[in-house]
Structure 1
Amino acid sequence: MKIDGLDKSFWSGKRILLTGHSGFKGAWASLWLASMGADVTGFSLKPDTDPNLFELANIAGSVRSRFGDLRDIDAVRNVVQEAAPQIVLHMAAQPLVRRSYIDPVGTFGANVMGTVHLLEALRHADALEAVLVVTTDKVYENTEQGVSFREEDPLGGHDPYAASKAAAEIVTSSYARSFFEEKGVRVATARGGNVIGGGDFSEDRLVPDIWRALMAGQPLVLRNPAAARPWQHVLDCLCGYFTYARALTEGVELPAALNFGPPHDAAPLTVAELANAVQSALGADCVWEPANDTGPREMMTLEIDSRKARSVLGWKDQLAGTPCVSWLADWYRALNAKGDMRARTLDQIAAYEKLYRGETS
């Protein structure tokens, strides 16, 4: 069975509350949902990088944008009341592993209590049909044995970020069973892989680090060049989220959590391999140097198995492998050429939709 997650007739007029709309994935999601006719209310902190996709693509011109902190339960209640959502996509988080070591309290506050505050406020949202809480591939107890994690594997987390997201999974499951099931509101979690694409400017992330080094004319420094990750393009990941959200809304019998990542038979790329591919696609020499100090511990191996999402939703990635790198490089080249980045972002969304429909190769 294939659920059409990009069906404009489904999204048109739907009231969507999207948390984290000022972030990398959230900005793409905001623009995409609005382009499909959804009535989107975004709630998040203000962008914390310069540049940022939220401003480059004028996301505020497409959605009802509200800035606030998930740790402020009154602010969360107010935006839920204003949005009167039918569907909620909860993407807001403190998403950085290294920052979580510096600020574990803030990380647990945003990722755990922020989720509690949102779900608590949504208990009183009368029009609510479905909630999708986005977590991460890092929610699993990773003993670094090279296994590809499946949805039924134990949750855990060495670093505060991973642990906070695993805790958010438990919070979500508790609220779903305690409060939302009896109302017929479907609640689930989506565990995405390492998402890359144009418009990411976050600290301590590989693709932004490559772009910054290139712009500054400085050597690229890699913390863990041999680390392997389940890289996937942001549009593939979001297509999975949208498909899952639609299926939940329509009452399709589904697991309470699904992985979204690259094909299970594709060998995961190391940091060094992806760095070389991105540098080459941007027309730069494939040169990097290892960091003298890699900082706090980060997992060296991470793989997730996304076969269940492919089976129950009919979802599949359109940009696995070389196209993923080509598309993100195209976006950053347009930025470097001082292009209209809202138009470029919408162009990539439209091109993706054609691939999804099988209208082009």
Structure 2
Amino acid sequence: MNHPQPRTLITGDAGFVGQHALRLLPGSVGLSAHRPNIDIRDTAALTACLREIQPERVIHLAAQSFVPESFRDPAATFDVNFTGTLRLLEALQASGFGGRLLFVGTGDVYGLVEAADLPLSENRPPRPRNPYAVSKVAAEALCYQWSQTGPFEIVMARPFNHIGAGQSPAFAISDFARQIAEIRHGQRPPQLVTGNIDVSRDFTDVADVVAAYGLLLEKGQNGEIYNVCSGTERSIRSVVERLLALSGTQAEIVTDPTRFRPADQPRVCGDQRKLHTATGWQPAIPFDDTLNHLYAYWEKQIGL
């Protein structure tokens, strides 16, 4: 006997991860698709929308998530990421919601760590070093409080870097894939402009990340935080070189110091054992497949 899929509301559904979540999670409905131009900070509008949709679960993705923008306007970042989360919680309570919320934070909250402390586990205290990460730590603390005192359950995710088709070129790997597609097809000189690529990150395919979110809604423990990451450390340079090889492109790598981030972390690798133990999740998509999908997306975007 087939059980109906629970209705899952996705905030931030117009974004990169939200679009994949709508496609991959059965029974999902987008907040902005249901109510265009809704402001996550508008409690009254949110409450009315929630009463119409009557979700059984919520994935809260709506956020200002671009780190350089958070330095340019920390107040706006905090307003969307913290106050927006508070308004959503209030609206869920006012609408009679009794299901589960997944709050999506970031692995960026861990801040600067020594190599000896890798991989990063959830037991490590947050030491945020940019306004975006600060806003997510604050919203996480708020969600924990509501998970203990509110009328519904909340599980929290800390995703590390995730990539895939549809990601904004404001993010490094997507930008490199776009540049390589343009170089490969003669739309720009054979020079790939990068920031600091001699750092490492923990990358996961966006589809694997969405699968983790679905499992956390089902099996995560109320009030608990889970890293969502591959557990594999890769240098940005190695990813650039692999993209060039997979696309059959030759280019000079040109470093632009203006692209360097303040307070950047040299090495990042996450520990995903807590997530795996709770849900059985593990990455399923080979990294070369992820890069091929991203490159193919950009070939399509530039009109090929």
- Could you state the TM-score of these two structures normalised by the residue count of structure 1? 0.76
Distance 1:123 1:255, change over 3 A: closer
Q: List aligned pairs for 1:335-354, cutoff 5 A.
A: 335-336=301-302
Q: Render the CA deviation track for 1:98-146: whole Å, top value 9, x for unaligned.
A: 1111111111111111111111111123343110001111122433445
Q: Out of 25, 29, 32, which is 1:40 matched to?
A: 29
CA distance in 2, matches of 1:83, 1:279: 45
1:193-272 maps to which residues of 2 (within 5 A)? 193-212=160-179, 214-215=181-182, 216-218=187-189, 219-248=191-220, 253=221, 256-262=224-230, 264=231, 266=232, 268-272=233-237
2:153 maps to amino acid: R
Residue in 2 that maps onto 1:28: 20
* Separation in 2, partners of 1:99, 1:212: 22
Q: Name the SS for the 1:304 alignment partner.
A: coil
Question: Which amino acid in structure 1 is aligned with residue 177 of structure 2?
Answer: I
Residue 209 of structure 1 and its aligned partner are, at CA, apart by 4.0
How many pairs does the alignment contain?
297
Percent identical pairs in the alignment equals 25
| Structure 1 segment 282-301 matched on structure 2, within 5 A | 282-293=247-258, 294-301=260-267
Shift in Å, 1:286: 4.7
Pair 1:192 & 2:159 matched: yes
- C-alpha RMSD of matched pairs (Å): 2.3
CA contact 1:98–1:204 (8 Å) conserved in 2: no
User: What is the CA–CA distance in structure 1 between the aligned matches of 2:208 and 2:122, rounded to whole Å?
Assistant: 19
Between 160-169 and 284-293, the greater mean CA deviation after superposition: 284-293
CA distance in 2, matches of 1:195, 1:134: 13
Indicate the residue corresponding to 1:341 in structure 2.
Answer: none
Q: Which segments of 5 or more consecutive residues in structure 2 lack a partner in the other structure?
A: none
Query: Secondary structure at the residue paired with 2:254?
Result: strand
Residue 275 of structure 1 and its aligned partner are, at CA, apart by: 1.4
The CA deviation at 1:155 is 1.6
User: What are the ranges of 5 or more consecutive residues in structure 1 without an aligned counterpart?
Assistant: 1-7, 44-62, 339-361
8 Å Cα contact 1:276/1:287 also seen in 2? no
Structure 2 CA distance for partners of 1:86 and 1:296, relative to 1, 3 Å: same
Aligned partner of 2:144 in structure 1 is 173
- CA deviations on 1:216-262 (whole Å, 9 max, x unpaired) are 514322211111111110001111001111225xxxx5661111111
- What SS does the corresponding residue of 2:10 show, helix, strand or coil? strand
On the 8 A contact 1:93/1:111 being kept in 2, the answer is: yes
Indicate the SS of the match to 2:193.
Answer: strand
Partner letter of residue 318 of structure 1?
Answer: A
Q: State the alpha-carbon separation in 2 of the partners of residues 255 and 179 from structure 1.
A: 11
Paired residues of 1:280 and 1:286 also in contact (CA < 8 A)? no
1:190/1:260 contact within 8 Å kept: yes
Q: What's 1:307 paired with?
A: 273
- 1:337 deviates by 5.6
- Find the residue that maps to 1:67 and give its secondary structure: coil
How far apart, CA to CA, are the structure 1 residues paired with 2:20 and 2:150?
31
Give 1:14's aligned residue.
Answer: 6
Per the TM alignment, residue 158 of structure 1 is displaced from its structure 2 partner at its CA by: 0.7
Offset of residue 300 of structure 1: 1.9
Rate the CA distance shift 1:177–1:113 in 2: closer, same or farther, 3 A: same
**1:6-46 deviation digits (Å, cap 9, x = unpaired):** xx956x4532211110111111111222xx3x151323xxx
SS at match of 2:94: coil
Alpha-carbon distance in 2 for matches of 1:141, 1:236:
24
CA distance in 1, matches of 2:60, 2:242: 32
> What is the rounded CA distance, in whole Å, between the counterparts of 2:107 and 2:161 in structure 1?
7
The residue number in structure 1 matching 2:242 is: 277
2:169–2:178 Cα contact (<8 Å) kept? no
Distance in 2 between residues matched to 1:153 and 1:320, nearest whole Å:
29
Q: Given residue 324 of structure 1, which amino acid in structure 2 is its aligned partner?
A: T
Letter in 2 for 1:168: A
1:125 aligns with 2:95: yes
Residues 222, 272 of structure 1: 8 Å contact kept: no
Distance 2:205 2:9 in 1: 23
Question: Which residue among 138, 142, 154 is the counterpart of 2:108?
Answer: 138
Structure 1 distance, partners of 2:98, 2:30, is 14
